[in-house]
Every structure is written in structure tokens, then in C-alpha cells.
Chain A
Amino acid sequence: MSAHRVAASLPRIGVTIGHVPQKLKTGGIEPSRRARLEVLRRIVTRTVREERVELKWNRAVEARPYVERLIQLGVERGPLDEYTAEMMEWWLLEKDLITKMHEVIVPRFQNNASPFTSLFRLPPQRLQQFIQNKREVWKRYDIGVLEIHGNPFPPVQEESSEQSDSILDILLADALRNHQMDLQERLNSEKSK
């Protein structure tokens, strides 16, 4: 009740958002909705700082829409908006990141639509937890990589090469290239005459 509506609506976020907020393990903090936000806040801050972060899969999925929305607020409203300023202030724990957000990240997406981030799934890791009476306890972790587009790192996913592996295609492409070069040579020799 009497929650003030955000003045003008924002566009849709271009990533999958579940209709129920997922519970997250909060390590030490008493589990609550507040604790969940605190965990997400740390992840968002880290993502803006590092631009590519490796997280537990479920945390990455939950944090991604928050990063998207924060960037969207910057793109749509700009730094002078009161609501944007309040949200940046709360979500980015380190204050230099607010400047980074407005001056480095938001200008990248000035003419783009959402999504501004990508999420990749790494192969799950099995790690040994402890050894109890010669019994080894292992645990499986699902790992996701969350990144902001336009970061300076090499791409996570290899770009699909446009060249076909088929021998026929390779020979055809080569023949075409030779033909092109012949034409170019003939043209050059005619010009020189």
C-alpha cells in the first residue's frame, strides 16, 4: 500500500525471469528476503567491477536480471534521475562503480536493447569436501559465467567459423579465390598497357 509507483515504465528485460524469486544459500546470514538481496548486491557489485564473473549457476541466474535492470535504468533515465541514483547507490557497494556504470558501461548500450549480459554454463566441477573415516565426500557444483557485453576479455564461446570443413567446399572456395586473382591480374595488366 502507498508504495509510490516508479514514474515512467521501463522496457521489458530481455532475459528469462522466473515468476518466483529463488531462495539462495546465504552463508552465515540468517536466511530471509533481506539476506537474499544482500547476496545479490554483492554479486552485482562484483559483476560491475570485474565485468565477467564465475558464480554458482543458480546465483548467476538470479543476479542476471538485477544487473540488466540496473544498466537499463542508466540507459533509459540517465544519472540525473532520482530513482536511478537511489538504486545505483544501494546496489553498487563501492562508490567508484557508480561512476564506472554511468561513464563506461551505460554508454556502450546507448542504442542497444536488452539483453546487455550473457550467461554461460561451464562444465560442472566435482570438489572434495572432506574425508571421514576413509570415506571421501565429494560435491558437485554447477557453474555459470555471467558477463557484461563489450568487456575487454576474449570471448567465452568460440565464434562459429564460417568456413566449412567439407573438402569440396574448401576446393571450391580456393578455386573461386584463384579465379578472382586471375581476373584482378588481367585487369591490372590491361591498365598498365
Chain B
Amino acid sequence: MFRPAAREVVRIPSRFFSCKSEPVRAATSKKQATKEEIAGLIPAFPEIYPDFLQSPVWNRRNALKEELERQDMLERRMNIDIPEFYVGSIVAVTSSDKNLGSKDHRFVGICIRREKEGLLHQFTLRNTIENIGVEVLYDLYNPTIKKIETLKLEKRLDSDLGYLVDALPEYSTFDFHMEPQAHPAGTPIPVNELKVKLKNPPWTRRWEISSCRGIEDTWTQATPWYKRKLHKTLVNDYEKYDLIANYRTSSTKEHEIYVQAQMQKFEKERHAAGLTRRRILKSAASYK
């Protein structure tokens, strides 16, 4: 029986570059990921804490202002548990309203947008109530908010679900008495790859030329007038390749590491004082 020599079997083609599933290269990328995990840093920090990022406009980045706001945000997070949620998660917000007397106002909906940095961070919830679409914009650090719960932790294909306005109402209808679904700790956040169907035009925006991945087949539904207009439309889908335009508006790793270290230090101080055991910096996906 022919048996190849052991030396021949273990030879790895290092010279030739292949695309995927090359165990040697995959191993090196894994090794880098663990280095950050040792320090307790969260890889998905910009997605979980968009309020701790810097402004995308560079001349509005002010170190002192950011520092002062961060202190206030951390203090607030010690008083209220702000859970992890993403655009596409189903969130319930309980807030007090002076016109309701002693009663609280609770709103349940899908988070369609998270915007602005620092203390001004906002998120929008959307639901359909009595066949009318309702969007409520909350300030995350509004002191009248009493409780924020994540009923279902998941992501969608887009980072802005503004198209739900023009989608069929069934896509933005959620039960107010929905039971919270627990997310198993340490598992990655599921991405709901649902593609919504839009209502017939007119739409609020030209979805047929937008790059949203969560809409199903906009072209057949678009009106002939807009189809004819397409060749005059400035389509700038090549802008995603502008690496430096991207760099100008995004946050840097150094800033994220600095903020996370600050959050860890703040937590440690508060825990040592024995006042609270609440944790601020946490992530369901990287829980150990």
C-alpha cells in the first residue's frame, strides 16, 4: 500500500494566496482579537455605545466638552440601567409625564435610529397604534426616563430603518405586552435578515436608489416617472470606497480604548466605595 511521506503531507502552500478558509491565516487574526479581550475591551464598542463616540465633524470635537459630558453620562448610567440595544432591537421605555399624575408612560417599539453624540444622544422608537404609525424620539439622557428595557436584542441589515415609514404596517407593529426575550450571554447578536415590502408609491424618499439592504425589490414598485429620471440622478455609490472620507467621520480606536479604560476605572471606584454593584461597560456578545 502506498503511503505518502509525512513531510509531504504537512506542507502548507504559503507562497500562494487563497481567499477563505486558510487555517494558518485565520489563526493569526484570532490571536489579535484575544489581545484586546484580555484588557476587557469590547470590540463592538462603537455600536453599543454610540453616545460615547466623538462628533463626526472634526472641528466640533472638543476634548474638554467631551470629558465633562462623559462624566455626566457616567453618573446618569449609575442611576439608571441603560441596556445594550441596537437599531432593529425592540425596546420599551417607561417615562414619567407631569400630565399623567402618578402614572407612568410606557412605549414599546422597534429602534429605527440612533443619532448624535454625548449627552444629546437620541434614539427613535416606532410602532403602529390603531393603524397609525407612531415614532417617538427619546433623548437617552433625559432625566424623566425611568426605565429602558430591551425586549428583543437583535440587529437588522441597515443602521437606519427610516424606510419603515413607507413599509407595510405589519413590519412596525409590536405588541405592548410583549414578553422580554433573554439573549444567551456570550453568543453573537443575531442579525434579522428580514427584507420589508414597501407600500405603493409615493414614498418619502427615493428608496429605489438608496443603498438600504433591508428593502425587497424597490425597482418594480417605483413609478415610471422616477425610473425615467434615473439617468439624470447623481448616484454616488462609489463614495464607499473613499477611505479617507470614511476616516474623517469615524471614531478612532485610540479614543475608544481611552473611553473604555475611563469607564472601567469609574466602575471600579464606585464598586470600591460600596455604593453600587451596577456595571456600565458590558456587552452581551463578549460576556465571559
Contact = CB atoms under 8 A, between A and B. Distances in A.
Partners in one complex: yes
Interface of A: 1-13, 17, 19, 21, 33-34, 37, 65-66, 69-70, 73, 76-81, 85, 87, 90-91, 98-99, 102-103
Nearest to A110: B28
A37 B163 CA distance: 30
Size range of the chain B interface in the assembly: 35 or more
Contacts of A1: 160, 162, 210
A4 B211 CA distance: 9
A19 B25 contact: no
Given A3-B211, A5-B159, A69 B243 contact: yes
Closest 4 CB pairs of A and B: A2-B158, A69-B243, A2-B160, A78-B29
5 contacts: A2-B162, A10-B247, A73-B243, A80-B25, A91-B241
Contact of B253 (A11, A19, A33, A91): A11
B250 A5 contact: yes
B46 A70 contact: no
B210 A9 contact: no
Nearest to A78: B29
A79 B17 CA distance: 9
A69 B243 CA distance: 7
B20 interface: yes
B162 A21 contact: no
Contact of B238 (A4, A37, A99, A102): A37
Contact of B25 (A9, A65, A69, A79): A79
A12 B80 CA distance: 33
Contacts of A13: 247
B38 interface: no
Contacts of B239: 33
Contacts of B256: 9
Nearest to B241: A90
Contacts of A79: 17, 19, 25
Contacts of B238: 34, 37
A80 B159 contact: no
B59 A78 contact: no
B47 A5 contact: yes
Interface string B252-280: 11101000000000000000000000000
Contacts of B250: 5-6, 9
Given A34-B236, A80-B26, 7 more contacts: A3-B159, A3-B211, A5-B47, A5-B250, A66-B243, A66-B244, A73-B243
A98 B18 CA distance: 11
B160 A80 contact: no
Contacts of A73: 243
Given A2-B158, A12-B252, A80 B29 contact: yes
B244 A65 contact: yes
A39 to B, nearest CB: 13
Contact of A99 (B17, B47, B241, B248): B17
A11 B17 contact: no
A21 B244 contact: yes
Contact of A9 (B17, B46, B241, B244): B46
A76 to B, nearest CB: 8
